[in-house]
Structure 1
Amino acid sequence: MISILGRLLEDDQPDHPQALLDRARRPGRSMGSLARALEGFFTQRGLVLPTDQAQPLAAGRRRRRIDATPLPLRPQVQAFAESMLRARERALKAGTLPRTDSTIEVALATVRDLARFLTGTRNEQDWALADVHDVEAFLVTMPKARQRQLTVLRQYFRFARSRKVVLIDPTRGVKAKGPSGFSGTTAAVDRQRQLFRRWATGTDAHPHEALLGILTLLHAASSSEVRRLRMDDLDPVNRTIRLGKRPHPVPMDPISWSALQRCLAHRTDQRTDNPT
């Protein structure tokens, strides 16, 4: 750093503090260690004004999210970003709480993802074609982020409707809470039959795999219910087990009870005192 600073001082360029700081700054997302050191030294002594390095970085992040939007839908995302920035400026002048850079970036990322979904999955190249079914299908792809994504999409489509990009808000009537129950990917029926035969009559499946598969396939046991299963939850007399917080013991059919017995026999061979 000292040698680079020496070269900057010895060349024919102006060497007053602001010019020196500008020439020491590296292009790109980071200004560089030398420029940061000089900025701290000069600003502490009142020789230069502090550089607002965070704003160029935030602008670059916004630009990358906009550029990643499919081209037919990109202009409105750009306009949405400009609208949020203008709203932030008004909030700063009014003394109210403005949007942070991260909030704006999350909003742009959500709209970008919806645009990709519309063009790639739904084959729609215009925002005006989006309807409530498209929004619901998009929200299902990330059920845990449903409420946050829906909040952003409502903001975007209010903006789009004010610009007459869409005539009807497709988020109208969409609930923040998704449908209850399992919403993940399931195996095809033929594949389920293959797995059932492997676990019920096969000999190459590990006893743990067979029991976990049977409990999941036949009794809809969740991973947390299986993890919490203990020896005390088994009732050999009535051939039932307790799964999680279910109000009643679960009866075990012959196939399920046989898988459980194989698992217990394997546990006995391990000579463990583990209660699970």
Structure 2
Amino acid sequence: MLTRLGKHLTDEHPTHPQALLGAVADDVPLARALEDFLTASKLALPPDRDERRAAARRQSRIDAVPAPLRPAVTGFAEHLVAGRDRARRAGTRPRGHTTLEARLTAVRDFAQFLTARRCKTDWATADVGDIEAFLHAHPGRRASYLTGLRQFCRYALRRRLLLIDPTAGVQAPQTMAFRGPTLPVDRQRELFRRWSTDPEVHPHEAFVGLAALLHGATTQELQHLTDDDIDHEQHRIRLGRRPQPTPLDPWTWTALQRCLQHRKNLGSNNAHVLITMQTKATRAAASDSYVKQTLREVGIQPRILRSTRLVDLVGTVDAKLVAAAYGMTNEAVIAYLSDHVDFARLPNP
């Protein structure tokens, strides 16, 4: 790495720390190590990789739109990004990258549907029948697609790309009830025994599994957990934006200690609990995908374990107490309670 860095410094490349980070961006290992050193020494600001990755994802969706319909989608993407920038400058809540990508996904799929199934290559020819046929072909994503198409049609009307709004009278009725998968009790017990008694299980798998199953931890909360969030005396950890530290049971605490020992064995100075071979020499957190893949041996995603825990808690404990403990809104918690009736509380016939 020092040899490659020396070539960049002597081959007429910029030597300013911030410009140097841009010059070595293609050399990923060198860029990661150099960024960690320069930012820790306060010589440069970290490059906004998230923005670049999000821009690449948006562009891939635009490129998948048929050529005759692509200019309008390009303008719509620029409109979404401009709105996000305005919201950020105004101090309001800007839409996340995932939301923007979902809107572009809806328009991309509809554009492909128009050309392939309806033989239309002009946005002005789109009508209500096209919208209904497209949503009928994707019943599971009807609400999400309709939201994106409505926003695009409003944009297209202002730009005179459409004569009418074909989404005006279309509805996507849906309930706010939680409809995701959960695990039966037998499967929960099986996983708990695996993560609490099997020493051959990787420390990261055991900790992520137990934290999600017993404490409802999210992937992001575990991804950014550091040494500063651990209370070794009280056996508590601070997870994300939860108002109070979360006390750990003996099994989860043991799994956490195994993660810390695993990090020590790797000789890493990274303060994060979950580290990888790529992040052990830096101060960066592990990627979101890595945390999700820790449970690949059992074929389960952490969000399913969290949902299982929340459904159980909301059904047996006051929903407002669950919202306060987990730092969630009341509306988000009520979704797990919908369509659930506790027959013991109903009046006797």
Relative to structure 1, the CA distance from residue 6 to residue 149 in structure 2 (aligned partners, 3 Å threshold; closer, same or farther) is same
Whole-Å separation in 2 of the counterparts to 1:103 and 1:54: 14
Per-residue deviation at 1:166? 1.1
Q: Which amino acid aligns with 1:91?
A: A
Aligned to 1:52: 48
Aligned to 1:70: 66
Whole-Å separation in 1 of the counterparts to 2:172 and 2:131: 12
Per-residue deviation at 1:22? 3.1
1:116 to 112, 124, 128: 112
Per-residue deviation at 1:18? 3.5
1:157 to 153, 159, 182: 153
1:107 correspondence with 2:109: no
Structure 2 residues not aligned, in runs of 5+: 175-349
Per-residue deviation at 1:124? 0.6
Q: Is the 8 A contact 2:14 2:23 kept in 1?
A: no
- Structure 2 counterparts to residues 148-227 of structure 1, below 5 A: 148-177=144-173
Query: Which digits, 9 at most, give the CA deviation of each residue in 1:208-237, with x for residues without a partner?
Result: xxxxxxxxxxxxxxxxxxxxxxxxxxxxxx
Per-residue deviation at 1:3? 3.8
Query: Which digits, 9 at most, give the CA deviation of each residue in 1:44-71, with x for residues without a partner?
Result: 1111122112212211111111111111
Find the residue that maps to 2:119 and give its secondary structure. Answer: coil
Aligned to 1:17: 17
1:89 to 85, 95, 99: 85
Whole-Å separation in 2 of the counterparts to 1:95 and 1:9: 40
Find the residue that maps to 1:96 and give its secondary structure. Answer: coil
Q: Is the 8 A contact 1:146 1:177 kept in 2?
A: no
Relative to structure 1, the CA distance from residue 51 to residue 167 in structure 2 (aligned partners, 3 Å threshold; closer, same or farther) is same
Per-residue deviation at 1:20? 3.7
Q: Is the 8 A contact 2:142 2:172 kept in 1?
A: yes
Relative to structure 1, the CA distance from residue 173 to residue 43 in structure 2 (aligned partners, 3 Å threshold; closer, same or farther) is same
> Of the two structures, which has the highest relative contact order with CA contacts closer than 8 Å and spacing of 6 or more?
2
2:138 to 125, 131, 142: 142
Q: Which amino acid aligns with 2:46?
A: P
Structure 1 residues not aligned, in runs of 5+: 179-276
Aligned to 2:197: none
Aligned to 2:35: 39
Count of equivalent residues: 174
Which 4+ runs in 1 deviate beyond 6 A? Answer: none
Relative to structure 1, the CA distance from residue 25 to residue 128 in structure 2 (aligned partners, 3 Å threshold; closer, same or farther) is same
Relative to structure 1, the CA distance from residue 15 to residue 166 in structure 2 (aligned partners, 3 Å threshold; closer, same or farther) is closer
Q: Which amino acid aligns with 2:125?
A: L
Whole-Å separation in 1 of the counterparts to 2:85 and 2:93: 10
What is the RMSD computed on CA atoms of the aligned residues?
A: 1.9
Q: Which amino acid aligns with 2:77?
A: A
Relative to structure 1, the CA distance from residue 120 to residue 6 in structure 2 (aligned partners, 3 Å threshold; closer, same or farther) is same
Whole-Å separation in 1 of the counterparts to 2:14 and 2:80: 40
- With structure 1 as the length reference, what TM-score do the two structures score? 0.59
Which has the larger Rg? 1
Q: Which amino acid aligns with 2:151?
A: Q
